[in-house]
Amino acid sequence: MTSVLHGNRLIQRSHNWISGFQERLKLFLFPSASDSWLAVLRIGLGFQLMLYCLSLRKDWIQLFGANGTGLINRELIEAVVKLDSSFLPTLGWLVTLGNKIGLSEQTVLWGTWASLLCASGFLLLGVLCRCSAVVAWFLYVCAVNSGNLLAYGVDNFTIIGLFYLMLAPFPDRYALDRKFWRSPIRDRRLHGFFRRVLQLHLSVIYFFGGLTKCLGAGWWTGENMWRALTHAPFNILPQHLIISWRAVLPILGIAILVLETGYPVFIWLKKTRLVWLIAIVCMHIAIGLTMGLYLFALIMIILNLAAFGPGLLRPEKTRTELAVAELEQANSLRP
């Protein structure tokens, strides 16, 4: 009898623990969050894409042209990419489609460039957000696949950002869509979930990036800092200047290891979040300025600010405050 009672108590206790864990997990994955993160991501990615288009304007045909017009024949790159999966979207799809309606390859390529630029402008303003995000993501993926041999980190992170943006619960309160269509702001828990996924993804990125760096001797001795700064074409700073700073290089190298590996811990702690975010943003600004990787720096800053920025300096509004604000806004929109 006693053992039965004891067994029942154990079952009850484990049941309580499981339901408590489920509740905590639910709270962790679906926290109540405002739509500010989405506004940061949307505007940031719009700006990023605009810079991407404008910076590659002169080389667009050289990068993606086929049959003698490009630096590397696009068709060759696409053939190599298709070995991985024939489902991967490429600019070749659009060119084939364009050819069927009588458009030349160059027209399609310039059309793609213009569409990407338009989508970026729409994202910046918040017009037709979902449609613009899907178009931007699709065209960007096509461009990356068709220029795969020339793609680098910035493309990966831009695709990550655009993928989340495409699925995000639009619109945010700063989007023009909200004003035009009077669309309601989606559930705060849904916003919380999307933001949480982005936060977790960034934590994984930095942790593994940092850990892999920790396993290389050069980051502890400053040698990799030296190599990164003197490696062509990232050698923006004059070599004599870097030589004069050589004593600081190991410190900078170790600081990067600490920042990246410690990211999944210190960015989550309320007390250290602001300091860590500022330090990470400063690190990316430094990468941009000293190595000329401006677009890479920008995309990392955007992702960080979207994931951990909102509510950091000024606490996000409570549910009641937001509900009142929504009501006031709805009243002001009423004719």
Partner 1 sequence: MLWAVANDYTLLPRSVDRWADKAEDITHAALGEKLPTSNLLRQIVAAYLQVAGIDKGYGYFAPGVPNSYKLVFELRYADGRVEYELPSLSGKAAGVRMVTLLDHIAQTQYDPLREVILKMLAYSVWQEHPDAVTIRAVFGQIEEPTAAQALQGQSESYQFLYAYDFSFARQPANSAKP
Chain positions 166 to 195 lying near partner 1, rule: CB under 8 A, are none
Asked whether position 318 contacts partner 1 by CB under 8 A, the answer is no
- Applying CB under 8 A, among 226, 263, 266, 308 the residue interacting with partner 1 is 226
CA distances from residue 205 to 42, 156, 187, 210, 225 in whole angstroms, order as listed: 21, 12, 28, 8, 20
- Applying CB under 8 A, among 31, 32, 47, 88 the residue interacting with partner 1 is 88
Interaction with partner 1 in 40-69: which residues (CB under 8 A)?
Answer: 52, 55-59, 62-63, 67-68
Residues across the chain: 335
The answer to whether residues 210 and 239 touch, using CB atoms and an 8 Å cutoff, is no
Asked whether position 152 contacts partner 1 by CB under 8 A, the answer is yes
Q: How many CB atoms lie within 10 A of CB 201?
A: 15
Interaction with partner 1 in 8-37: which residues (CB under 8 A)?
Answer: none
Asked whether position 320 contacts partner 1 by CB under 8 A, the answer is no
Asked whether position 209 contacts partner 1 by CB under 8 A, the answer is yes
Instruction: Report DSSP state, residue 165.
Output: H
What the block records as the tokens of 248 is 């600081």
Mark the segment that binds partner 1 (CB under 8 A) among 93-101, 150-158, 177-185, 191-199. 150-158
Mark the segment that binds partner 1 (CB under 8 A) among 17-25, 40-48, 84-92, 116-124. 84-92
Q: How far is the CB of 130 from partner 1 (least distance, A)?
A: 17
Interaction with partner 1 in 262-291: which residues (CB under 8 A)?
Answer: none
Interaction with partner 1 in 101-140: which residues (CB under 8 A)?
Answer: 137
Give the whole-angstrom CA distance, residue 64 versus residue 107.
Answer: 12
The one-letter amino acid code at 60 reads W
Farthest CA pair distance, the chain: 87
Phi, psi torsion values for 73, nearest 5 degrees: -55, 120
The answer to whether residues 196 and 28 touch, using CB atoms and an 8 Å cutoff, is yes
Asked whether position 6 contacts partner 1 by CB under 8 A, the answer is no
Mark the segment that binds partner 1 (CB under 8 A) among 1-9, 28-36, 147-155, 174-182. 147-155
Phi, psi torsion values for 249, nearest 5 degrees: -55, -45
The answer to whether residues 157 and 300 touch, using CB atoms and an 8 Å cutoff, is yes
Give whichever of 93 and 174 is closer to partner 1, judged by the CB atom.
93
Instruction: Report DSSP state, residue 238.
Output: -
Mark the segment that binds partner 1 (CB under 8 A) among 1-9, 169-177, 185-193, 206-214. 206-214
Phi, psi torsion values for 265, nearest 5 degrees: -100, -55
Asked whether position 239 contacts partner 1 by CB under 8 A, the answer is yes
Asked whether position 309 contacts partner 1 by CB under 8 A, the answer is no
